[in-house]
Copies of this chain bind each other. A is one copy, B any other.
Amino acid sequence: MKPTMKSLLFLQAAFYLPFTLALWPRPQNLTAGNTPLRLAAGFSIEISGIPQVPKDLSDAVTRTTKFLTTDKLQLLVPDRGASLTDAVNSAETLHSLTVTLSSSASSDVKSISEDAVAGLGVADESYTLQVPAGGDATLTANSALGLFRGLTTFEQLWFDLGGTTFTLQAPVHIEDAPVYPYRGFMLDTSRNYFPVSDIKRTLDAMSWVKINHFHWHVVDSQSFALVVPGFEEIAQKGAYSASRVYSPDDVKDIVSYAGARGIDVMVEIDTPGHSSVIFKSHPEHIACPEATPWSRFAGEPPAGQLRLASPATTNFTTDLIKAVSSMFPSTLFNTGGDEINTNCYAKDNLTQEDLASQGKTLEEALDTFTQATHSALADAGKTPVVWEGIVPLAFLESLQAHAASVEMALEHQVNLRNDTIVLYAVYFVLSSTLPPLTGRNVYRVWISSEHVGSVAQKGFRLIHAASDFFYLDCGGGGWIGNNINGDSSCGVYKTWQKSYSFNPTNGLTEDQFDLVMGGQQLLWAEQSGPSNLDSHVWPRAASSAELFWSGPGGDVKTALPRLHEVGFRFIQRGVDAIPLQPEWCALRPNACDGDA
């Protein structure tokens, strides 16, 4: 190749610069050149210097090797790279990627799966990737998990042009590690059921953008698909059908699949609310089961809450939580605490009798109940996670009058353990124009996200799950049957730009910053099922993946071309990511910005 040709290539590569470093999430440190490079015909990935290679690491290498040939992602430019054919075909070649532990790594290497469940922020996800302008590349890390993260990045370097796998920007040097230890995604499998295959596909997609926590809102008032050893009758009576359950083997399969992809599975059994379905197998434990009108007894139908003042119900719940927690290796367990309806208990004779005989208020009973379940988790070495609804928050006092009018307990007296992690999700925004008395929003009082500081003041660690930024189901209109002008319970659709612009430390003082563990996007399933899972989640959920891996403050202008890449690559891999713009725009970065 003559120098003049090379110069021309440099110019072309420089022109294409924004397209060809389509890494997501953005690495912490990245330098790149503008030399074309292609994979050699015999390109291979070799694991080196690891005496006992964990099987999930060698499996990850196999997957990466496959993606290098099956992604076949074309450059997102109008001619899809056709004008670069000669340049690409005459480029230097990369012969191999050597995958190895760094010298400082422990000789006793753990598997990816072991690292995934080691605890929040315990495992080292950092890695270093060196791709020279020809020859051999190296990936080093302190852990198998770090190597897996690096493999995911390596996959994203490559495009396809007529069967040649290439990049225009060698050499590449990346030093990378996440800013926040918790990057999550929550799926609700109770309102509508999702087959195991859908969950696995979602876990795959999560891993491609380095999401490392799957928050599984597995059961709720509508259905109970989880087959819990010793409590099989709950799913038997409470699943939508005998075939639509998650058996213990399914759970093992999902946990194993997630772990091999660096993902921890945090299960949630919401208590004492959101538990109506248990009445079908255990009527003695549920107050106000399917009581009507539902809007007096629950945020959405069907009504029904665990009899929190009953010692028998408390024992039952504790045993259930222990049994469920033993199905999941995660150190995190979510006990819920969301949306406790006071009227349900006020109208339940048995609860009133229990309270009277114990001389307790409802709040004191809730405290006893929560202490019991959380102690059991502590005994099992687990950290309790709760929704912010159960945290005693002083700022809520101003809302008591309204809360009383809608019969929801807003301020609780629960004494939470210091290590409790709070999911800060349902931002309560007090509105002078309260929503009409129909739909899920009846019992929601919305407070602005600035009050996140109130959680931090209590000293609890928190995970952001902001309904006004991260709820993926918003904007679908109301689902209450006879409401012609119904709105979704969390307002308009949250665009990727909206979630991408979230500031995790907004409302916190600097000494509270360390309490932020990260955050997640969430899909509630009142109007979601297998048919719109991918379209609701991808590529939008990638926005918080980058926010919490790379840190906040990213520019939507530079993010969008990369996010288009994410979407197109996902489609190549069988995940139905939706188009964010007309393809005309996707092929012309920033041509469809408002100021273009």
Q: Which residues of A contact B (CB under 8 A)?
A: 80, 190-193, 221-223, 240-241, 292-295, 300-302, 437-439, 475-488, 492-495, 497-498, 500-501, 525-532, 534-535, 556-557, 560, 571, 576-585, 587, 590-596
Choose one: B484, B485, B531; the contact of A534 (CB below 8 Å): B531
Instruction: Contacts A475-B475, A527-B580 known; list 10 others, CB within 8 Å.
Output: A294-B596, A437-B594, A475-B493, A477-B492, A479-B585, A481-B560, A482-B595, A486-B497, A487-B492, A531-B579
What are 16 A-B pairs with beta-carbon distances under 8 A? A192-B582, A292-B596, A293-B596, A301-B591, A301-B596, A478-B495, A479-B581, A480-B594, A481-B581, A482-B557, A483-B497, A525-B579, A525-B582, A531-B577, A532-B535, A532-B576
Known: A223-B584, A560-B481. Contact between A475 and B497, CB under 8 A? no
Please indicate the chain B residues that have their CB under 8 angstroms from the CB of A484 in the complex: 495, 497-498, 500-501, 556
Closest chain B residue to A302, Cβ basis: B584
Instruction: Judge whether B592 and A560 touch: CB under 8 Å.
Output: no
Please indicate the chain B residues that have their CB under 8 angstroms from the CB of A576 in the complex: 530-532
Known: A497-B484, A583-B222, A594-B482. Contact between A578 and B492, CB under 8 A? no
Give Cα A151–Cα B589 distance, bound, in whole angstroms.
50
Q: How many copies does the complex hold?
A: 2
Instruction: Judge whether A578 and B527 touch: CB under 8 Å.
Output: yes
Instruction: Judge whether B492 and A583 touch: CB under 8 Å.
Output: no
Known: A241-B80, A481-B590, A482-B556. Contact between A585 and B301, CB under 8 A? yes
Instruction: Judge whether B579 and A527 touch: CB under 8 Å.
Output: yes
Give Cα A547–Cα B577 distance, bound, in whole angstroms.
32
Give Cα A484–Cα B469 distance, bound, in whole angstroms.
11
Closest chain B residue to A488, Cβ basis: B493
Choose one: B478, B485, B488, B556; the contact of A481 (CB below 8 Å): B556
Instruction: Judge whether B475 and A295 touch: CB under 8 Å.
Output: no
Closest chain B residue to A560, Cβ basis: B481
Give Cα A501–Cα B486 distance, bound, in whole angstroms.
12
Choose one: B495, B498, B528; the contact of A578 (CB below 8 Å): B528
Query: Which of A223, A560, A580 gathers the greatest number of chain B CB atoms within 10 Å?
Result: A580
Give Cα A8–Cα B557 distance, bound, in whole angstroms.
67
Instruction: Judge whether A479 and B596 touch: CB under 8 Å.
Output: no
